[in-house]
Amino acid sequence: MSDEQEQPPKDVHGTANVTGDNWGIVVGVNMGTINIIRKPTRYKYDMTTKTKKQFLELVQNGDYSIQEVKEYLLNSTEEIQIRLRTLEIYLTVGEHDYSVLSALGKDISQNMREGVLRSIIDYKLLDYPHDMLVLNMQDRKKTIAEQAVRSVDFLIKHRTAHPKLFLVANIPYHPYWLIRKLAVQSIISADLQESIELLCKFKHSKYWVTRRKILDYVEKRHAQDRLTEDDTRIAVDILEYYIHDEESSSNKTRQLAQSILERITHN
């Protein structure tokens, strides 16, 4: 057989008989040269050129296995946008392997950590490990900590987490006011028997909006006659702290605290 006979035909249009795990698809023919994308590169090509629906069809048709999707997802050397899109695919096909998601929750990429936390809400990952949530709430990146608090609030609303997680993560002393406020809002929304006790841990927060939310909740519980003896004792502690705190950011806060205290103690 001559060398000429061994060359691939010049009129190939998008197909080729190639074998092996690393071979992929033909994407074009230029001047008689067959351009074949190897499978690792093919994954990126498909991920960036196809819609989410189209890529899902490739997975469902067996072009890519769940194991391959998982490997790309966990590979921290891959482009983050590819990995984030892969996370969507992974969760959309119904894969909720919490060992995988926990690993991603500790990923070197801030975008991936935040993406996983958002997925708790978007994909209703109601059994996401609480220890990972605590770790994420303690993240040095404020955006991660904030999203973690929002995700905990989501799980609290679905009764698969408890507001005590905020205390475990030391949120009452978090330096960022918004994160403390979000936790206070979550505790108030949960409206549990121990909510007054939990809110007392946040009494040192200087932000007047946070203090006002706590005061309004104490007032509401009192008006509903839902303050137990222990609740009353704790509520008095909160109110007296606000009244006598020289660093209080608002005189109105002191006045409201004084008014509520008088009503509670005169009953």
- pTM equals 0.83
Residue 55 in contact with residue 47, Cβ under 8 Å? yes
Residue 267 is predicted with a pLDDT of: 67
Residue 133 in contact with residue 145, Cβ under 8 Å? no
Phi, psi angle pair for 48, to nearest 5°: -90, -20
- Does the pLDDT value for residue 25 go beyond 60? no
- Does the pLDDT value for residue 46 go beyond 90? yes
Amino acid 196 reads I
Query: Which of the residue ranges 12-21, 46-55, 224-233 would you say has the lowest mean pLDDT?
Result: 12-21
CB atoms within 10 A of CB 170: 12
186-204 confidence digits (pLDDT tens): 999 999 999 999 999 999 9
Distinct helix (H) and strand (E) counts, the chain: 15, 2
215 CB-contact burial (10 Å; exposed 0-12 / middle 13-18 / buried 19+): buried
Confidence tier at 41 by pLDDT (50, 70, 90): confident
Residue 257 in contact with residue 215, Cβ under 8 Å? yes
